């Protein structure tokens, strides 16, 4: 069969007339008839029924009419490709992207690409949504696509992160909020807003975030909706509206000082800009990115594009590994912040929020009326019936070294973002209760009584949480809790010390004989002073009394009932900062590493491990935010009501990749150091009253696999 014969056949099949086909092809009718007879002979079958002067297609003719055009199209592509090679045009590249990317991020890339490779046939096709870009990749309409971060996975498409961006608040430079560096959507519901349409990627990201917050567009009564950033400009400049846009947009206007960008608390971390290629293409990888390419021409041109993007965005593999912690965090939810005013610092504070996005639990088990109390009586309820899962978290917000595990997660709404909402959790309402305490003892009690599900604790109370309320260990030594992560640590043993009034005559450890030392019982400082006195054979000769009020601002040398105080960071730094106290002991003389960690109730770990993993993902993201956000130190200082000097002296603010020397006592780190835990138990269990700590089975009490799953899932 010849292609020209097929072309003649398709014309005859189109008109069902040899005469009309001949006129269209500029041939004689006998020539057309001869071509059809020759084609039928080569196929060994008739293509037309001849009924007098009329003709009809046979079954074979109908089939050939359907599939024939694809052969003609293939011939055209082959000829075009050969012509390209003859003209030495080796490469062609079709690029698809969303309209936002086409108007902001991509033009600079494509301009530079054309300058370097003018012989490449380059086309850019904008689409309304990321899903349309995906479909264009899968159907081979385009060779490569660029979209704002998409959470969905597609079988036919491979995605690689090539850059990142944030969503921000945009205002005119003469707006009253223009000088602010950080604002919250919750604080701005009464303002005039201009929002992107819900059909755009920006609108989808905002809608998803509001849903996690338990909000909707109707909570912003004075808002307008536009289809593109260009339509947003008049509202900003003439109406003094607040705008919502990505960091790719309004860049020229910012350089011209026409608008200002303000960070949003609900969008604290980066979204990913993704490059999409077809998974089925497996020619070779470029720039260690795992990008699959098609054919020699596409392979070469796409490889050149990948290399140029890396050069322009400085987005190396190492940077990508760091950024993996920030996947689509802009859609995380926020909760009502705990009050940290001086008036309520001495007492536990509580803040609860409810996430309105549904999840389903096939087991039907839910938390009962008290936070963390699992109601086994509900196990028979239908899997389609909504249920509420209460998660109660005990924090120590003014113990600065733990803020990444509590306050930052709460303020940025990171837990709400990571909570599971599919499968067995598809029909579950989450109710998160944050309860803030001044020391670890009430958190330990809350975990033991099942009033708390998650606790952030220093080393000594962390160990005590594994014991029952009567100080025992369950059969097998599995413990009342599970240690699932560290939060911050100091390998040199710093973080706890003894302070005395400046006028005190005490000079060293030996001077504590027959003295009274006040200490928060069951705290990290309690563990330190107990170990220190025991090693010096002074424990029976020193009276340890409990500090009932941990508000160090109320502590003065004049009304002290004790000779000294054993405190954990940052309380001793606050006291020294006030100038009325000095340190007697700098730290544990044996330099036993100090650490803080996260423990969860055994029931939560066993019945809802996905929830624990979600919390650990939020912790990882919070630590990344603290270490990489320049304004983090100022914000944390404001949130806890302490001087920046105290915050930075307590928890390192080192920036990833900055090479700067950290200056804090504690360093954010989630890795569980089992050897450190064993060292603490070894020393403490030899002291009267702590013997049962040695019965903890660390093999079951420590569950590092949950942290490993959280890291892998980022």
pLDDT above 70 covers what percent of the chain? 80
Six token digits for residue 413 = 């709404």
* Rounded mean pLDDT, 677-682: 95
pLDDT > 50? residue 290:
no
User: CA quadruple 135, 138, 141, 142: dihedral positive or negative?
Assistant: positive
- The more confidently predicted of residues 478 and 632 is 632
Q: How far is CA 290 from CA 130, 161, 278, 280, 287, in A?
A: 21, 11, 11, 13, 8
What's the rounded Cα separation, in Å, for the pair 207 and 224? 14
SS3 662: coil
Of 297, 286, 276, nearest to 120 (Cα)?
297
How confident is the model at residue 286, as a pLDDT? 42
The pLDDT confidence band at residue 567, using thresholds 50, 70 and 90, is confident
* Rounded mean pLDDT, 187-207: 93
* Rounded mean pLDDT, 165-169: 94
pLDDT > 70? residue 112:
yes
Give the range with max mean pLDDT: 273-277, 353-357, 461-465, 658-662: 461-465
According to DSSP, the β-strands at 92-98 and 48-51 are unpaired
| Residue 513, number of CB atoms within 10 A of its CB | 11
SS3 233: helix
pLDDT > 90? residue 558:
no
Q: Any idea what the Cα angle at residue 195 is, between residues 417 and 330, rounded to 5°?
A: 20
Place of tokens 């807003």: 193
How confident is the model at residue 90, as a pLDDT? 53
* Rounded mean pLDDT, 358-368: 28
According to DSSP, the β-strands at 387-395 and 454-458 are parallel
Within 8 A by CB and 6+ apart from 267, the residues are 166, 167, 168, 209, 329, 330
* Rounded mean pLDDT, 186-191: 94
How confident is the model at residue 470, as a pLDDT? 82
Q: How far is CA 296 from CA 81, 194, 332, 524, 636, in A?
A: 11, 47, 42, 64, 53
Element containing residue 566 per DSSP (H, E): strand 564-568
Within 8 A by CB and 6+ apart from 693, the residues are 463, 464, 466, 467, 681, 684, 685
What's the rounded Cα separation, in Å, for the pair 577 and 534? 30
Give the range with max mean pLDDT: 304-318, 336-350, 664-678: 664-678
What's the rounded Cα separation, in Å, for the pair 278 and 159? 9
The pLDDT confidence band at residue 291, using thresholds 50, 70 and 90, is very low
How confident is the model at residue 287, as a pLDDT? 41
* Rounded mean pLDDT, 84-98: 74
Element containing residue 264 per DSSP (H, E): strand 259-264
* Rounded mean pLDDT, 126-131: 88
* Rounded mean pLDDT, 147-167: 79
The pLDDT confidence band at residue 101, using thresholds 50, 70 and 90, is very high
SS3 210: helix
How confident is the model at residue 66, as a pLDDT? 92
The reply to whether omega before 667 is within 30° of 0 (cis) is no
- The more confidently predicted of residues 303 and 133 is 133
* Rounded mean pLDDT, 701-705: 95
**596 close to 489: Cβ distance less than 8 angstroms:** yes
* Rounded mean pLDDT, 485-500: 91
Within 8 A by CB and 6+ apart from 8, the residues are 21, 25, 27, 32, 35, 36, 39
How confident is the model at residue 668, as a pLDDT? 92
Of 159, 179, 156, nearest to 169 (Cα)?
179
Length of the chain: 714
pLDDT > 70? residue 154:
no
Give the range with max mean pLDDT: 14-23, 168-177, 641-650: 168-177
What's the rounded Cα separation, in Å, for the pair 455 and 394? 5
Which bin fits 240, alpha (ψ -120 to 50), beta or left (φ > 0)? left
Q: What is the DSSP string of 442-486?
A: HHHHHHHTTS-SEEEEEHHHHHHTTS-TTS---TTS--SEEEEEE
How confident is the model at residue 45, as a pLDDT? 92
SS3 598: strand
* Rounded mean pLDDT, 518-546: 93
What's the rounded Cα separation, in Å, for the pair 689 and 592? 20
CA dihedral 376, 378, 383, 385 (to 10 degrees): -150
* Rounded mean pLDDT, 137-150: 87
SS3 62: helix
Local structure of residue 333 (DSSP, 8 states): -
Tens digit of each residue's pLDDT (9 = 90 or more) over 304-339: 888 898 888 765 444 444 444 443 443 332 222 222
Return the bridge partners of 157, or none. Answer: 278
Work out the mean pLDDT of the chain and round it to a whole number: 82
How confident is the model at residue 577, as a pLDDT? 64
The pLDDT confidence band at residue 230, using thresholds 50, 70 and 90, is confident
Tens digit of each residue's pLDDT (9 = 90 or more) over 585-621: 765 566 799 999 999 999 999 999 999 999 999 999 9
What's the rounded Cα separation, in Å, for the pair 501 and 490? 26
């Amino acid at each position: 069969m010849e292609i020209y014969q097929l072309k003649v056949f398709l014309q005859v099949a189109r008109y069902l007339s040899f005469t009309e086909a001949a006129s269209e092809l500029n041939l004689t009718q006998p020539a057309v008839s001869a071509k059809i007879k020759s084609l039928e002979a080569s196929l060994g079958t008739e293509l037309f029924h001849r009924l007098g002067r009329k003709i009809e297609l046979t079954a074979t003719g109908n089939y050939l009419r359907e599939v024939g055009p694809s052969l003609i199209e293939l011939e055209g592509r082959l000829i075009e490709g050969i012509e390209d090679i003859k003209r030495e045009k080796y490469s062609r590249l079709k690029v698809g992207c969303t309209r936002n990317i086409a108007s902001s991020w991509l033009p600079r890339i494509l301009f530079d690409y054309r300058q370097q490779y003018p012989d490449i046939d380059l086309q850019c096709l904008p689409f309304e949504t990321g899903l349309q870009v995906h479909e264009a990749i899968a159907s081979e309409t385009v060779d490569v696509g660029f979209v704002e971060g998409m959470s969905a996975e597609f079988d036919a498409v491979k995605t690689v992160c090539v850059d990142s961006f944030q969503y921000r608040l945009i205002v005119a430079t003469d707006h009253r909020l223009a000088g602010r560096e950080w604002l919250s959507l919750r604080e701005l519901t009464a303002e005039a807003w201009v929002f992107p349409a819900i059909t755009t990627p920006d609108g989808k990201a905002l809608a998803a975030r509001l849903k996690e917050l338990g909000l909707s567009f109707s909570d912003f009564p004075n808002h307008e909706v536009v289809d593109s950033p260009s339509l947003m400009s008049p509202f900003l400049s003439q109406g003094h509206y607040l705008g919502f846009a990505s960091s790719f947009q309004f860049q020229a206007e910012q350089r011209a000082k026409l608008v200002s960008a303000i960070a949003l608390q609900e969008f604290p971390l980066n979204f990913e800009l993704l490059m999409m290629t077809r998974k089925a293409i497996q020619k070779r990888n470029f720039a260690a990115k795992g990008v699959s390419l098609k054919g020699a021409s596409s392979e070469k041109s796409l490889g050149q594009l990948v290399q140029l993007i890396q050069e322009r965005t400085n987005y190396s593999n190492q940077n990508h590994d760091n950024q993996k912690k920030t996947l689509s965090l802009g859609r995380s939810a926020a909760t009502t912040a705990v009050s940290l005013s001086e008036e309520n610092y001495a007492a536990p504070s509580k803040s609860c929020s409810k996430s309105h996005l549904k999840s389903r639990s096939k087991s039907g088990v839910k938390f009962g009326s008290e936070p963390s109390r699992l109601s086994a009586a509900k196990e028979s309820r239908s899997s389609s019936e909504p249920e509420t899962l209460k998660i109660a978290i005990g924090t120590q917000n003014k113990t600065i070294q733990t803020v990444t595990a509590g306050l930052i997660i709460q303020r940025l709404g990171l837990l709400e973002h990571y909570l599971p909402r599919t499968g067995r959790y598809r029909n579950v309402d989450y109710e998160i209760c944050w309860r803030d305490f001044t020391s670890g003892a009430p958190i330990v009690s809350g975990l033991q009584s099942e009033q708390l599900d998650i606790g952030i604790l220093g080393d000594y109370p962390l160990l005590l949480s594994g014991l029952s309320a009567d100080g025992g260990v369950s059969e097998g030594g599995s413990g009342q809790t599970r240690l699932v992560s560290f939060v911050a640590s100091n390998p040199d043993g710093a973080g706890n010390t003894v302070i005395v009034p400046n006028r005190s005559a005490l000079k060293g450890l030996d001077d504590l004989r027959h003295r009274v030392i006040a200490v928060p019982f069951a705290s990290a400082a309690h563990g330190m002073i107990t170990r220190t006195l025991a090693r010096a054979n002074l424990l029976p000769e020193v009276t340890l009394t409990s500090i009932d009020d941990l508000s160090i601002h109320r502590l003065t040398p004049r009304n002290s009932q004790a000779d000294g105080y054993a405190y954990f960071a940052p309380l001793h730094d606050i006291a020294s900062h006030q100038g009325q106290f000095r340190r007697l002991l700098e730290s544990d003389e044996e330099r036993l590493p100090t650490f803080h960690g996260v423990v969860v109730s055994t029931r939560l770990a066993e019945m809802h491990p996905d929830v624990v993993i979600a919390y650990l993902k939020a912790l990882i993201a919070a630590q990344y935010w603290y270490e990489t956000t320049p304004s983090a130190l100022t914000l944390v200082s404001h949130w806890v009501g302490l001087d920046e000097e105290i915050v930075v002296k307590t928890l390192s603010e080192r920036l990833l990749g900055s090479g700067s020397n950290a200056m804090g006592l504690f360093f954010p780190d989630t890795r569980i150091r089992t050897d450190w835990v064993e060292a603490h138990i070894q020393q403490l269990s030899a002291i009267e009253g702590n013997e049962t700590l040695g019965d903890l089975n660390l093999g079951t009490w420590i569950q590092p696999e949950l942290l490993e799953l959280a890291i892998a899932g980022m």
